[in-house]
Amino acid sequence: MYPGAIAAVTPDKPAVIMAGSGRIITYRELDEESNRLAHLFRAAGLRPGDHIAFMLPNHPLFLTVAWAAHRSGLYYTPISSRLQSEELAYIVNNCGARAFITSAGLAGVAGSITAATPGVEVRLMLDGVAEGFEPYEEAVARQPATPIGDECAGVDMLYSSGTTGRPKGVKIPSAHGPLTEPGMLFRLVQGLFAPSADSVYLSPAPLYHAAPLRYSLTFQQLGATVVVMERFDAERFLALVERYGVTHSQLVPTMFIKMIKLPEEVRKKYDLSSLQCAIHAAAPCPVPVKEQMIDWWGPIIHEYYAGTEGNGFLYVNSEDWLRHKGTVGRSLLGVVHVCDEEGDDVPPGEHGTVYFESGATFEYHGDPDKTRSAHDPKGRGWTTLGDIGRLDDDGFLYLTDRRSYMIISGGVNIYPQEAENVLSVHPKVADVAVFGVPDEEMGEQVKAVVEPVSPAEAGPELEAELIAYCRERLAHYKCPKSVDFREELPRHPTGKLYKRLLRDEYWPVRR
Q: What is the CATH number of the domain that holds 472?
A: 3.30.300.30
DSSP string of 451-495, one letter each residue = EESSGGG-SHHHHHHHHHHHHTTS-GGGS-SEEEE-SS--B-TTS
In a domain, 285, yes or no: no
Tens of pLDDT, residues 98-140: 999 999 999 999 999 999 999 999 999 999 999 999 999 999 9
Looking at residue 175, what is its pLDDT?
64
In a domain, 256, yes or no: no
352-357 and 225-228: which strand pairing? Answer: unpaired
Residue 385: helix, strand or coil by DSSP?
A: strand
Looking at residue 289, what is its pLDDT?
85
Looking at residue 494, what is its pLDDT?
39
- Cα–Cα dist 311/289, whole Å: 28
Q: 118: Cβ–Cβ under 8 A, 6 or more apart, which residues?
A: none
In a domain, 118, yes or no: yes
Domain that holds residue 154: 24-175
CATH number of residue 97's parent domain: 3.40.50.980
Among residues 63, 104, 340, which one has the least CA distance to residue 218? 63
Residue 80: helix, strand or coil by DSSP?
A: coil
Cα of 405 vs its chain's centroid, Å = 17
pLDDT-flagged residues of the chain (< 70): 161-165, 175, 282-283, 401-404, 491-496, 509-511
DSSP string of 196-242, one letter each residue = -TT-EEEE-S-TTSHHHHHHHHHHHHTT-EEEE-SS--HHHHHHHHH
Contact 403, 388 (CB under 8 A): yes
Domain closes at, from 119, 143, 175: 175
Among residues 334, 329, 332, 305, which one has the least CA distance to residue 317? 329
Global pTM reads 0.83
Looking at residue 510, what is its pLDDT?
47
Cα of 213 vs its chain's centroid, Å = 8
Contact 60, 16 (CB under 8 A): yes
What is the domain count for the chain? 2
- Cα–Cα dist 337/404, whole Å: 18
In a domain, 147, yes or no: yes
Contact 54, 65 (CB under 8 A): yes
Burial class (CB in 10 A: 0-12, 13-18, 19+), 481: middle
In a domain, 431, yes or no: yes
In a domain, 501, yes or no: yes
Tens of pLDDT, residues 428-484: 998 889 999 999 888 899 999 999 989 999 999 999 999 999 999 999 999 999 999
Domain closes at, from 149, 175, 201: 175
Domain closes at, from 106, 141, 175: 175
Contact 135, 103 (CB under 8 A): no
